[in-house]
Amino acid sequence: MATISSHVLDAVHGCSASGIRVLCHRLSEDQKSEQVFEVKANEEGRIVEEIDFTSSGENTFELVFFSDEYFREKLGESYAGRQIVPEVVIRLVLPDPEIRYHVPVIIGPHSNTFWWSE
């Protein structure tokens, strides 16, 4: 089994984005979506989930980080309505069904950055 992990960082407060909701779904060749997992990041802003796929099978996944929901909880109603990008969506095509894919993300109300490593 492969592993998808992430460390989500809050650029506004300079800390881990503990509690942010993260959804992963698999996309078929005809772009149909199947949910694989939905979790909240731990107190360190981390998620670690195993996923099952074959290298020759459907290996396209999307990670959805619910940044607007997270910042509404952290910043309160004064933040409401200020976000035009409510989720950070990262599409991954995973070539190897046996390794770990680590996708750290830095989120802010007006920007985000991500990268990946094994």
Question: From CA 20, how far away is CA 1, in angstroms rounded?
Answer: 25
Split at pLDDT 50, 70, 90, the class of 31 is confident
pLDDT of residue 117: 94
pLDDT tens by residue, 47-69: 999 999 886 678 999 999 999 99
What's the pLDDT at 102? 98
pLDDT of the residue at 9? 99
| Alpha helix ranges (H) inside 9-100 | 67-75
Q: Which pLDDT value is given to residue 40?
A: 99
In the chain, the amino acid numbered 106 is I
In the block, tokens 């020759």 appear at 56
Provide mean pLDDT across the span 35-49: 98
Chain CA centroid to CA 97, Å:
19
- Predicted local distance difference test score (pLDDT) of residue 81: 66
The predicted-structure confidence for 76-93, as pLDDT tens digits, reads as follows 877 766 778 899 999 999
Tell whether the model's pLDDT for residue 95 goes beyond 80. yes
pTM, to two decimals: 0.94
Walk me through the domains of the chain, giving residue ranges and CATH numbers: 2-114 (2.60.40.180)
Nearest residue to 104 via CA among 35, 10, 33, 26 = 10
